[in-house]
Amino acid sequence: MGMSMGTFPDGDLAGFVRGASPGQKLRERLDDAVPEEFFTYPGDLTARDHQALTYARLRRAGRAVPPASELLDDPPALCALLERAAIADPALFHVMLLHYTLALGPIIRFGGADGGGAARRALESMDSFGTLLMTEVGRSNSHLSPRTVARHDPATGGFVLRTPDVRAAKFPTSTAHPALPKTACVYATLVHGGKERGVFVFAVPVRGPDGTVPPGVRVVPAPETTGLQVDYAAVLLEDLHVPYEAWLSDGARVEADGSFHDPAGSPAARLTRSMGIAPAVWRAVISASAAVTRASAGMLLAHSAGRSTLGRLAPRRPLTDYRNQQEAVLGALATAYALTAVAAHVKARRTSADAPAGGPATAWAPWSAVDRDLALLKAACTATAQETVSMCRVHSGAPGFAAVERLNAYRGLTHAYMNAGGDNELILYDTARAMADLDRYTPPEAEPGPPDGGDPDSPRVPLFLAREAERRMRDALAARVRAAGAAGADPFTAWNDNLALAARTATACADRVTLEICDAAAQAGPAPLQPVLRLHAVNWMARRAAGLLDQGVVPPGWLAEVDAARRRACDELAPRAGELAAAFELPPVITEPAAFLTGG
**Contact (CB, 8 A) for 156 and 168:** no
pLDDT recorded at residue 181: 98
Does residue 600 register a pLDDT over 50?
no
pLDDT tens digits, one per residue of 364-422? 777 777 888 999 999 999 999 999 999 999 998 887 777 678 999 999 999 999 999 99
pLDDT tens digits, one per residue of 82-141? 999 999 999 999 999 999 999 999 999 999 766 678 999 999 999 999 999 999 998 777
Whole-model pTM above 0.75?
yes
Average pLDDT along the chain: 91
pLDDT recorded at residue 594: 64
Q: 61-100: b or e for each residue (b if 16 or more CB lie within 10 Å)?
A: bbeebbebeebbebbbbbbbbbbbbbbbbbbbbbbbbbbb
- Distances in Å between the alpha carbon of 16 and those of 87, 349, 490? 18, 17, 50
Using CA atoms, how far apart are residues 348 and 153, in angstroms rounded to an integer?
A: 43
Instruction: Place 1 in a pLDDT band, splitting at 50, 70 and 90.
Output: very low
Does residue 567 register a pLDDT over 70?
yes
Does residue 5 register a pLDDT over 60?
no
pLDDT recorded at residue 595: 54
Q: What mean pLDDT comes out for the span 331-345?
A: 97
> Which residues are CB-neighbours of 575 under 8 A, at least 6 positions away?
1, 3, 4, 6
Point out which residues pair with 190 in neighbouring strands: 150, 198
> Strands, DSSP E only, in 193-266?
195-207, 217-221, 232-237, 240-242, 247-248, 253-254, 260-261
pLDDT recorded at residue 102: 96
pLDDT tens digits, one per residue of 240-260? 999 999 999 999 999 989 999
Cα torsion through 564, 565, 569, 574, rounded to 10: -10
Which three-class secondary structure state does DSSP give residue 569? helix
Q: What are phi and psi of 237, to 5 degrees?
A: -110, 120
Q: What mean pLDDT comes out for the span 146-166?
A: 95
**Contact (CB, 8 A) for 502 and 433:** yes
Q: What mean pLDDT comes out for the span 209-238?
A: 94
pLDDT recorded at residue 23: 86
Which three-class secondary structure state does DSSP give residue 46? coil
Q: How many residues does the chain have?
A: 600
CA-closest candidate to residue 472, choices 569, 583, 552, 584: 552
Point out which residues pair with 234 in neighbouring strands: 220
pLDDT, greater one: 358 or 572: 572
Using CA atoms, how far apart are residues 409 and 296, in angstroms rounded to an integer?
A: 11
**Contact (CB, 8 A) for 363 and 430:** yes
